[in-house]
A and B are shown apart, each in its own frame.
Chain A
């Protein structure tokens, strides 16, 4: 279980995450929703141990984020993060060397399924191919918490469906999946929890079905309500 208590992350002129409190539990697929700059990526980076919170408590299974949590948490950044010399095969070998939960056979299977050449240099890949590669790498880890930052970015409509199917296939009740995206319509079909982040805070969070029933709106409509011009109509 991941616990975040009043975490804050401040930069020079901005507060990326502002008093964020939430708990993530196994067996759920969470959608982390919000426009650019709402604090989604900073939150995920803090959970992955890439950014230290300015204040607040962040624990994974009761322990602060550190070496142990990094072995159990997979994070897929939205940006390309590979070394310039790497091919898909090299990236797989890197993950195999450092993450004991990495399944190489599964990775090669996913590469094949996504029609990616393991020997192609990553820097020569298109943004769609790169996104697929990142997903294949991270879903090949048997991590307890998998966070995918904008997994559908740069991917065409048909490939999106294949990626969503792959995500669903790799989910199991002991795992937590966190997916962040602007493409709320695509995520609505698979998520069972939604977390709306606004200005670094949790604006609204809960079971997707309950949110729909309580607010009489779909997740997409709620998104528009929270971040669009209808903000004043959001029920408290």
Chain B
């Protein structure tokens, strides 16, 4: 499966390199802005860096979906489906690739975010005082910063799990389109409707049937426990969707 993942990464290398180059340009602009005390440049690029980091996850989602859809509808799919690998290994390799790209980019964003803040303090020592002032202000409002950090981490984990659930459901809809619905003229439209139906059903079950242990969590521990059932449900859903894709490809593949 790791060999398959290697080739999944290789296929998207150019796109990822372009994204990395954009990130590097923004970082460079930020550093130049700080060094030359050009507040507009530093501030603008910092804002774009935050936007870039946020939207890159949407981009990864679209990239993962487009790649899979394109693969099942192009001759290059022969290259992967001719190899002695199970459909489960093929699908899992694609998921692993997205996970690797997502986690690596998260690490890069956190690392550069920390470095950017250190740089800001180095060039503008007042910034540290502003940080201390904000921390004091937050304390005054009764906001515990470590608590806020743990809460944000819980939300991040929930977002990652939701992200993979969406990818798995999209893969299932695309696989259905390429297998059971291969003989249907409206397979593209039907697979879109299928995805929406699957997604709405999944979220409806989450909202109505999965228990919400702490609707208004008072501590970060309560928040973590509160989101656990939903996260577990989405993980199970993701695994089931992945297996369903594998079975469909095993039984009905037509490339």
Contacts and interface: CB of A to CB of B under 8 A. Distances in A.
Contacts of B75: 77, 79-81
Interface stretch (A20-28, A48-56, A205-213): A48-56
B13 A82 contact: no
Contacts of B11: 83, 85
16 contacts: A11-B182, A45-B255, A48-B78, A50-B253, A52-B251, A67-B85, A70-B83, A70-B85, A71-B84, A75-B82, A77-B75, A81-B76, A82-B79, A83-B11, A83-B79, A85-B10
B81 A49 contact: yes
Interface in B10-31: 10-11, 13-14
Given A52-B253, A98-B3, A81 B79 contact: yes
A77 B82 CA distance: 10
Contact of A82 (B76, B81, B252, B253): B76
Contact of B185 (A10, A12, A67, A68): A12
A71 B81 CA distance: 11
Contacts of B254: 50-52
- Give the bracket for the number of chain A residues in contact with chain B: 20 to 34
Nearest to A77: B78
Interface of B: 3, 6-7, 10-11, 13-14, 75-79, 81-86, 182-185, 251-255
A227 interface: no
A94 interface: yes
A105 interface: no
Contact of B85 (A45, A80, A83, A98): A98
Interface string A33-57: 0000000000001001111100000
Contacts of B86: 67
A98 B93 CA distance: 14
- Closest 4 pairs between A and B when the two form their complex, measured CB to CB: A71-B84, A98-B83, A81-B78, A70-B84
B88 to A, nearest CB: 10
A156 interface: no
A77 B182 CA distance: 20
A232 interface: no
Nearest to B255: A50
A50 B81 contact: yes
Given A12-B185, A51-B255, A99 B83 contact: yes
A145 B52 CA distance: 51
A169 interface: no
Given A68-B84, A98-B84, A51 B253 contact: yes
A192 to B, nearest CB: 26
Contact of B82 (A48, A52, A68, A79): A48
B192 to A, nearest CB: 20
Nearest to B182: A11
Nearest to B13: A85
Nearest to B252: A52
Contacts of B255: 45, 50-51
A81 B81 CA distance: 11
Contacts of B83: 70, 98-99
B48 to A, nearest CB: 29
A50 B84 contact: no
A24 to B, nearest CB: 18
Interface in A173-209: none
Nearest to A67: B84
Nearest to A71: B84
Contacts of B85: 67, 70, 98
Interface in A59-110: 67-68, 70-71, 75, 77, 79-83, 85, 94, 97-99
A23 B183 CA distance: 29
Given A77-B75, A83-B10, A97-B6, 20 more contacts: A10-B183, A50-B253, A50-B254, A50-B255, A52-B252, A52-B253, A68-B84, A70-B84, A70-B85, A71-B84, A75-B78, A80-B75, A81-B79, A83-B7, A83-B11, A85-B11, A85-B13, A85-B14, A98-B83, A99-B83
A11 B183 contact: yes
A75 B75 CA distance: 13
Contacts of A12: 183-185
Contacts of A75: 78, 82
A125 to B, nearest CB: 15
B173 to A, nearest CB: 20
Given A11-B183, A52-B253, A81-B76, A94 B84 contact: no
